[in-house]
């Protein structure tokens, strides 16, 4: 049963405010304290599903405490996980089918035991927050859901996830929830990290001190989940705890002092820790990784290695798939269509020159994308990527952004859409708008496929370095644009210091790496696949529409088709950049819809029309090379570089524009489009004009 079937939460959205997060409206229907799943023996149907009145449990905790990992472990869902703030910026919903009993049924004709049937729980994963005093829209969403609504519209129970190695910070949130008198269970994670630091937590003593159940768990290894389920079940049957009274006065400062005093007493009674913190392996590594000089150099070296491995290892597999689609798959499709009497018709053109040429070209990049996602998942799970915010903090502050803004930018190198949503972790509207304007300059994985193709065509053994250069240039563009915007639109804006919990380094787990890789690869294929199929059909249709008298539909030279005529009208704009051919210009028009479509549109164009007798049929690389060679006047290398730069910097896909429109409004979205086109065209022209003098 999906989360939508529960209808547990309406879609919530935080509107940007000038200095503080705007009010967030969240609707949560009231449910009974405990409504068990219907027993199979009490129904005519043998299926068991969650009752609409199933209890609601909220997962709450600080960023990097393990909430999303726990959510995935309990529900079997696949929400994005990461060990930095901002991984969760919206409410995730799922069904937790506990293996433990809900209650005994009231049948007169059977003897059901409580352990016979599971309890269905509507589980919600809230954005990470350190306290109930929100500093950003995503934290405001958590506060609104927990205490901003009447008591009959709140979750029935909160599971507060606390990091054992940073227990003091987690207990601050616990104290605020206890002050509200809300029912809760505390789940302690990162116990192995705490032990490595000489810290031990007595969960029984901790439960006595804070006045609520405490369970030690390890969601990565699925340890303690049954104990958590039993504890949650028991908590449903208990009355809500009395509010924790800490402060003797109503002042905010007095309340904070009282909380910290209470936390200190709790920690002293339940935790054992060395008097002086031991220097851990993470501390020794961070001495180099987060150093002002070595840190950025190490980061660049790691990313260069990632791109080098990606292009070198994936290239043979990509060539194998390319040969498969251009050879046996195409021949098989032509044979099948001929057997159906459709050979030589427009149907063959659609299938062979449209779907197989376009979609097949996208599928050849699956090995590359898989390897890229594996390497990034390893870097994330190891704890390294979280250090990027520390390494770049000084750089980000120079362009008017806090180090936390680097986290959405890092996400943007995977996909711009969640990166735009991730700007909600920033505390004020100016920072959110500025970051949203800079995110489209990050080179997403869709652009990566084009970069790898261009690198293999024009740079051979140096393809990995060429791709890496595009990513470095994107960072340079982000810095330059950030400085320009700060010096013009936003002067003298204060920048908050960076405060972030760095996770301990750990050995990535195979299961988690595989899960994250599959989640991202599936998302890429689902999103790109649907767009590509529609785009391929649209391009084929335009390529089949004649514009000259006497020509027939589906049997027209591409240059004379509606597609070719439109592309020829745009081509002169790109002539100063060295790629003014209509074949190349057409890909940029299609790329506005989705950057993945650039390759498929090339494949469709050259599957129909080869520009040279020397280029073998289906030899896309040779066709692209000759097109750039002719349009650049014999300077294909600088023209290819200019094209790659333009592709990286110009207007992102429609989905990204939609996300920008939603997060920062139409004015800033249109401003961003104009800025991106201006920057992209200017850089492309400059690179080609200078490059043709040097190469």
33 in helix, strand or coil? coil
Asked, for residue 287, whether it belongs to a domain, the answer is no
Q: Which residue has better confidence, 227 or 85? A: 227
Asked, for residue 659, whether it belongs to a domain, the answer is yes
Residues 262 and 303 in one domain: no
**Residue 218 gets which letter from DSSP?**
B
Task: Give me the pLDDT at residue 573, please.
Answer: 93
Which of 558, 556, 599, 591 lies closest to 574, judged by CA?
A: 591
Task: Give me the pLDDT at residue 302, please.
Answer: 86
Residues 516 and 643 in one domain: yes
Residues 438 and 574 in one domain: yes
Indicate the length of the chain as a whole number.
695
Asked, for residue 36, whether it belongs to a domain, the answer is no
Residues 511 and 658 in one domain: yes
Residues 576 and 616 in one domain: yes
Task: Give me the pLDDT at residue 579, please.
Answer: 92
* pTM, two decimal places: 0.64
Count how many domains the chain has.
2
Does 138 score more than 80 pLDDT?
A: no
pLDDT (mean) for 110-124: 62
Question: Which helix (H) or strand (E) is 93 found in, with range?
Answer: strand 92-98
Task: Give me the pLDDT at residue 247, please.
Answer: 64
Alpha helices in 425-581 (DSSP H): 429-438, 445-458, 463-488, 510-544, 562-570
Which domain does 128 fall in, by range? 3-8+56-272
Task: Give me the pLDDT at residue 151, please.
Answer: 66
Does 647 score more than 50 pLDDT?
A: yes
Residues 522 and 600 in one domain: yes
Question: Which residues are paired to 316 by β-bridges?
Answer: none
Residues 343 and 475 in one domain: yes
Confidence tier at 346 by pLDDT (50, 70, 90)? confident
Asked, for residue 557, whether it belongs to a domain, the answer is yes
Average pLDDT, the chain: 77
Residues 254 and 307 in one domain: no
Percentage of the chain surpassing pLDDT 90?
A: 15
Task: Give me the pLDDT at residue 100, please.
Answer: 54
Look at 44-58, 440-454, 623-637 and tell me which has the smallest mean pLDDT.
44-58
Confidence tier at 304 by pLDDT (50, 70, 90)? confident
Q: Which residue has better confidence, 253 or 465? A: 465
Task: Give me the pLDDT at residue 185, please.
Answer: 93
Dihedral angle of Cα 393, 648, 80, 531, to the nearest 10 degrees: 160
Question: Which helix (H) or strand (E) is 98 found in, with range?
Answer: strand 92-98
Instruction: Residue 65: give its domain's CATH number.
Output: 3.40.50.300
Asked, for residue 42, whether it belongs to a domain, the answer is no
Residues 365 and 496 in one domain: yes
Task: Give me the pLDDT at residue 214, please.
Answer: 93
What's the burial of 2, exposed, middle or buried (CB within 10 Å: 0-12/13-18/19+)?
exposed
Does 168 score more than 70 pLDDT?
A: yes
Tens digits of residue pLDDT in 545-588: 888 777 777 677 777 888 888 888 989 999 999 998 988 988 88
pLDDT (mean) for 630-647: 93
Task: Give me the pLDDT at residue 357, please.
Answer: 67
pLDDT (mean) for 48-73: 78
The residue with tokens 């030899």 is 619
Asked, for residue 666, whether it belongs to a domain, the answer is yes
Does 443 score more than 80 pLDDT?
A: yes
Which of 191, 138, 239 lies closest to 506, judged by CA?
A: 191
Dihedral angle of Cα 685, 687, 692, 695, to the nearest 10 degrees: -170
Which of 534, 545, 549, 419 lies closest to 474, judged by CA?
A: 419
User: What's the rounded Cα separation, in Å, for the pair 82 and 64?
Assistant: 7
Task: Give me the pLDDT at residue 128, please.
Answer: 82
Q: Which long-range contacts (CB under 8 A, 24 or more apart) does 392-400 make?
A: 392/296, 393/498, 394/292, 395/296, 395/479, 397/495, 398/479, 398/482, 398/483, 399/478, 399/479, 399/482, 399/483, 399/485, 399/486, 400/431, 400/434, 400/482, 400/485, 400/486, 400/490, 400/493, 400/495
For 202, residues 6+ apart whose C-beta sits below 8 A from its C-beta are 270, 271, 272
Confidence tier at 607 by pLDDT (50, 70, 90)? low
Does 37 score more than 50 pLDDT?
A: no
Dihedral angle of Cα 94, 23, 152, 255, to the nearest 10 degrees: 110
Helix axes 510-544, 597-608, angle to 10 degrees: 40
User: What's the rounded Cα separation, in Å, for the pair 207 and 216?
Assistant: 11
Residues 205 and 327 in one domain: no
Residues 250 and 355 in one domain: no
Top-confidence range, 79-88, 325-334, 402-411: 325-334
pLDDT (mean) for 239-251: 73
Tens digits of residue pLDDT in 352-411: 766 776 677 667 778 877 887 888 888 888 888 778 777 877 777 777 777 677 778 877
Asked, for residue 31, whether it belongs to a domain, the answer is no
Task: Give me the pLDDT at residue 674, please.
Answer: 93
Residues 241 and 309 in one domain: no
Does 611 score more than 80 pLDDT?
A: no
Asked, for residue 267, whether it belongs to a domain, the answer is yes
Q: Which residue has better confidence, 575 or 110? A: 575
Confidence tier at 17 by pLDDT (50, 70, 90)? very low
Asked if residues 622 and 561 have their Cβ atoms less than 8 Å apart, the reply is: no
- Sign of the Cα torsion 330, 333, 337, 339 reads positive
Top-confidence range, 213-222, 307-316, 344-353, 610-619: 213-222
Asked if residues 216 and 203 have their Cβ atoms less than 8 Å apart, the reply is: yes
Percentage of the chain surpassing pLDDT 70?
A: 80
Task: Give me the pLDDT at residue 106, please.
Answer: 43
């Amino acid at each position: 049963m999906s989360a939508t079937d529960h209808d547990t939460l309406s879609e919530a959205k935080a509107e940007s405010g000038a200095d503080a997060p705007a009010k967030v409206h969240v609707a949560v229907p009231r449910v009974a304290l405990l409504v068990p799943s219907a027993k199979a023996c009490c129904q005519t149907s043998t299926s068991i599903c969650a009752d609409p009145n199933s209890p609601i449990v909220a997962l709450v905790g600080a960023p990097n405490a393990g909430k999303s990992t726990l959510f995935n472990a309990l529900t079997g869902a696949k929400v994005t996980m990461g060990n930095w703030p901002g991984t969760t910026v919206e409410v995730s919903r799922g069904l937790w089918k506990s293996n433990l009993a809900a209650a005994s049924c009231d049948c007169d004709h059977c003897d059901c035991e409580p352990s016979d049937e599971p309890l269905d729980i509507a589980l919600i994963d809230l954005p990470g927050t350190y306290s109930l005093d929100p500093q950003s829209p995503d934290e405001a969403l958590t506060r609104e859901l927990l205490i901003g609504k009447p008591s009959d519209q709140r979750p029935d129970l909160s599971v507060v996830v606390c990091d054992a190695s940073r227990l003091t910070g987690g207990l601050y949130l616990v104290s605020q929830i206890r002050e509200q008198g809300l029912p809760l269970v505390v789940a302690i994670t990162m116990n192995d990290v705490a032990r490595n630091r000489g810290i031990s937590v007595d969960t029984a003593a901790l439960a006595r001190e804070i006045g609520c159940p405490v369970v030690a768990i390890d969601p990565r290894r699925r340890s303690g989940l049954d104990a958590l389920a039993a504890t949650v079940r028991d908590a449903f049957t208990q009355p809500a705890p009395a509010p924790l009274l800490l402060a003797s006065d109503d002042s905010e400062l007095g309340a904070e002092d009282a909380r910290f005093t209470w936390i200190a007493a709790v920690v002293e009674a339940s935790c054992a820790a060395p008097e002086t913190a031991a220097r851990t392996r993470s501390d020794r590594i961070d001495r180099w990784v987060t150093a002002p000089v070595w840190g950025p150099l190490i980061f660049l070296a790691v990313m260069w290695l990632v791109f080098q491995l990606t292009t070198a290892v994936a290239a043979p597999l990509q060539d194998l798939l390319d040969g498969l689609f251009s050879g046996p798959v195409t021949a098989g499709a032509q044979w099948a269509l001929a057997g159906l009497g459709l050979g030589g018709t427009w149907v063959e053109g659609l299938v062979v020159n449209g779907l197989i040429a376009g979609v097949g070209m996208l599928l050849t990049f699956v090995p590359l994308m898989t390897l890229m996602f594996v390497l990034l998942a390893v870097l994330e799970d190891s704890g390294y990527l979280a250090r990027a915010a520390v390494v770049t903090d000084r750089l980000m502050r120079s362009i008017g952004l806090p180090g936390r803004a680097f986290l959405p930018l890092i996400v943007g190198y995977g996909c711009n859409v969640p990166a735009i949503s991730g700007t909600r972790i920033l505390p004020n509207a100016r920072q959110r708008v500025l970051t949203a304007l800079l995110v489209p300059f990050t080179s997403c994985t869709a652009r990566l496929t084009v970069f790898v193709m261009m690198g293999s065509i024009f740079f051979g053994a140096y393809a990995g370095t060429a791709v890496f250069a595009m990513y470095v240039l994107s960072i340079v563009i982000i810095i330059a644009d950030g400085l320009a915007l700060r010096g013009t639109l936003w002067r003298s804006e204060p920048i908050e210091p960076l405060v972030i919990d760095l996770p301990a380094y750990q050995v990535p787990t195979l299961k988690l790496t595989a899960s994250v890789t599959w989640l991202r690869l599936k998302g890429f294929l689902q999103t790109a696949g649907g767009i590509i199929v529609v785009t391929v059909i649209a391009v084929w249709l335009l390529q089949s529409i004649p514009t000259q008298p006497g020509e027939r539909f589906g049997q027209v030279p591409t240059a004379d088709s509606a597609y070719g005529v439109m592309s020829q009208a745009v081509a002169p704009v790109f002539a100063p950049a060295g790629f003014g051919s209509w074949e190349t210009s057409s890909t940029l028009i299609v790329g506005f819809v989705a950057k993945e479509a650039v390759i498929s549109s090339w494949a469709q164009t050259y599957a129909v029309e080869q520009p040279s007798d020397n280029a073998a049929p289906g030899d896309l690389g040779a066709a692209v090379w000759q097109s750039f060679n002719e349009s650049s006047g014999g300077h294909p290398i600088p023209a290819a570089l200019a094209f790659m730069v333009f592709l990286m910097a110009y207007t992102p896909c429609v989905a990204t524009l939609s996300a920008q429109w939603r997060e920062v409004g139409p004015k800033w979205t249109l401003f961003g489009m104009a800025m991106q086109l201006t920057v992209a065209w200017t850089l492309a022209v400059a690179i080609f004009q200078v490059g043709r003098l040097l190469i």
